[in-house]
Amino acid sequence: DLFYRQLPKVELHAHLNGSISSATMQRLVAQKPHLHIQHSMTAINRGQRRTLDECFQVFEVIHQLTDRVEDIFTVTTDVIKEFASDGVKYLELRSTPREEKSTGLTKRKYVETVLEAIKHCKQEGVDVEVRFLVAIDRRHGPEVAMETVKMAEDFSVSSDGVVVGLDLSGDPTVGHGKDLIPSLQRARNSGLKLALHLAEVPSQQEETQLLLSLPPDRIGHGTFLHPEVGGSQELVDTVMKKCIPLELCMTSNIKGQTVSSYDKHHFLYWNNLGHPCVLCTDDKGVFATELSQEYQLAATTFNLSTAEVWALSEQAIDCSFAPESIKQDLRRRWAQLKREIH
């Protein structure tokens, strides 16, 4: 729908390698025919569902296709341009630095390449402001997490403010959050913002409580926080008292089967409380969605008025990790576009 594409939007939860479009994917696959990869191995299409475990296998396949410096540059520029053409005016991308011995890719080179691609898009005049979160994959354990934090600290100094924080992601059933507290605490102390995947699967109350005590600056998913799904009022109270925004990804949660149907999505619970919720795509390539589609989905599922949809997209500006000057610019853009779009 044209309105949802034109609506200016803020994307705060987008994993780089999960965001690769089918057009880009086809080019990557064609460059590596020896891998014998089919489209069904890199995306979950309409009507299909997978377990969360199967979703993580999809990323392993994709990573084989993006193991060279030039692949990282290509996917980053393509993803930025695609978000921009969907009406995204501010984008926070996140990605896990990877090293690939066979191609000479190092973790540092990985981040440098993402940053070069961001700069390249800016120079080309792509109409979207981009920031980057360095991701910690919890599967890799506390040592790698600490190494990642140190690297993020270096880049936050050298990147002209493009690196703004850290993401904690990866298979939520592997490892325990408590082992990562020292790294995350250090990151916080050095001024990096924290966007943490939290309560993505059931029965992780202890870990959730612990990670909330940091506290994070934003929560990814938070699917199992509230008492109706086995969380607790105590967790809800903590999130509300600290006013920690939630990044909500409806299509991802349905296709990954952590939420049973759209109308049962926890957007309803939190939005009814007036708590800041930001609609996001998570992995627009893997889950075959777009941010405009997520807004339309929320509007139709929960009967949101046009004014409520605008309020939702505007509120996301406040939840971003952008400096106040950028937020002011974005708010002015929103006001101007509100007069132009009907």
Q: Which has the closest alpha carbon to 82: 24, 8, 42, 38?
A: 24
State the binding string over 164-203 for ligand 5GP (x if CB under 6 A, else -).
-----xx-x------------------------x--x---
Alpha helices, DSSP H only, in the chain? Answer: 2-6, 22-31, 52-65, 69-85, 107-123, 141-158, 181-189, 205-212, 233-241, 250-255, 267-272, 291-302, 306-319, 324-340
Please say which residue, 10 or 79, places its beta carbon nearer to ligand 5GP: 79
Beta-bridge partner residues of 163: 132
Q: Which has the closest alpha carbon to 258: 19, 16, 21, 56?
A: 56
Please say which residue, 15 or 226, places its beta carbon nearer to ligand 5GP: 15
Of 92, 200, 290, 314, the catalytic one is 200
Answer yes or no whether residue 15 interacts with ligand 5GP by CB under 6 A. Answer: yes
Q: Which residues contact 8 (CB under 8 A, 6 or more apart)?
A: 87, 89, 313, 330, 333, 334, 337
Tell me the CA distances in angstroms from 236 to 83, 228, 275, 315, 328, one per residue in order: 32, 11, 10, 20, 30
Tell me how many residues contact ligand 5GP (CB under 6 A).
17
In whole angstroms, how close is the CB of 265 to ligand 5GP at the nearest point? 14
Among 137, 217, 247, 294, binds ligand 5GP (CB under 6 A): 137
Q: Which two tokens stand for residue 172?
A: 């939520």
In whole angstroms, how close is the CB of 302 to ligand 5GP at the nearest point? 22
Please say which residue, 4 or 59, places its beta carbon nearer to ligand 5GP: 59
Please say which residue, 321 or 334, places its beta carbon nearer to ligand 5GP: 321
Q: Which has the closest alpha carbon to 250: 312, 193, 310?
A: 312
In angstroms, the first-to-last Cα distance of the chain is: 12
In whole angstroms, how close is the CB of 52 to ligand 5GP at the nearest point? 7
CB atoms within 10 A of CB 307: 9
Give the Cα separation of 140 and 87 in Å (integer).
35
In whole angstroms, how close is the CB of 129 to ligand 5GP at the nearest point? 20
Please say which residue, 7 or 133, places its beta carbon nearer to ligand 5GP: 133
Among 71, 86, 92, 282, binds ligand 5GP (CB under 6 A): 282
Give the Cα separation of 36 and 313 in Å (integer).
40
Please say which residue, 24 or 95, places its beta carbon nearer to ligand 5GP: 95
Among 183, 252, 271, 292, binds ligand 5GP (CB under 6 A): 252
Active site annotation includes 207: no
Answer yes or no whether residue 11 interacts with ligand 5GP by CB under 6 A. Answer: no
Q: What are phi and psi of 165, to 5 degrees?
A: 180, -165
In whole angstroms, how close is the CB of 59 to ligand 5GP at the nearest point? 4
Please say which residue, 55 or 299, places its beta carbon nearer to ligand 5GP: 55
Which residue type, as a one-letter code, is found at position 101? K
Q: Which two tokens stand for residue 258?
A: 């952590």
State the binding string over 90-129 for ligand 5GP (x if CB under 6 A, else -).
-----xx---------------------------------
Answer yes or no whether residue 13 interacts with ligand 5GP by CB under 6 A. Answer: no
In whole angstroms, how close is the CB of 139 to ligand 5GP at the nearest point? 7
In whole angstroms, how close is the CB of 314 to ligand 5GP at the nearest point? 26
Which residue type, as a one-letter code, is found at position 248? L
Instruction: Write out the catalytic residue numbers.
Output: 200
In the complex, the residues that contact ligand 5GP under the rule CB under 6 A are: 15-18, 59, 95-96, 135, 137, 169-170, 172, 197, 200, 252, 282-283
